[in-house]
Amino acid sequence: MSVKVIHTDEAPAAVGPYSQAIQYTGLMFTSGQLPLDPDSGKIVEGDIAEQAHRVFKNLEAIARSGGTTLSKALKTTVFLNDIGDFQAVNEVYKHYFDQPFPARSAYQVAALPLGAAIEVEAIFAV
């Protein structure tokens, strides 16, 4: 089976030399999604909840473009500038993912690209 590049204009374009997602052997691996508005290419204004909503909408658009859905997420990794935002992100997360929830890791990091407060990557079954 060959590698397939996934791209959608409904999610922000890559801000570097990478693909929005790659499919291989029934799995789709997304690049980290920032809270970028796909039309303006800028970080959405607002608190961590608003940024998290944008991130998950971007992941949802990429999943759809790759022929899958958020319900088929197997694993997510959440990167936060402030681990104190963990609970607020959990509240948003529950709007996008249902039980059984995907496996997940969450980390506080020193900084994220473009000054974002959150970045999320995911692995999906296709």
pLDDT digits (tens, 9 = 90+) for 25-68: 999 999 999 999 999 999 999 999 999 999 999 999 999 999 99
Give, as one character, the DSSP assignment of residue 33.
B
The pLDDT, as a whole number, for residue 1 is 67
The pLDDT, as a whole number, for residue 38 is 96
Residue 87 has pLDDT above 90, yes or no: yes
CATH no. for residue 80? 3.30.1330.40
CA distance 96 to 101: 10
Assign 107 a pLDDT band (cuts: 50, 70, 90).
very high
The pLDDT, as a whole number, for residue 15 is 79
Whether 28 and 66 have beta carbons less than 8 Å apart is answered as yes
Q: Give the count of domains, the chain.
A: 1
The pLDDT, as a whole number, for residue 115 is 94
Whether 84 and 17 have beta carbons less than 8 Å apart is answered as no
The pLDDT, as a whole number, for residue 51 is 98
Backbone Cα Rg of the chain: 14
Mind listing the pLDDT tens digit for each residue in 10-36?
999 987 899 999 999 999 999 999 999
What range does the domain containing 102 cover?
4-125
Q: Which residues pair with 119 in a beta bridge?
A: 79
Which pTM does this prediction carry?
0.95
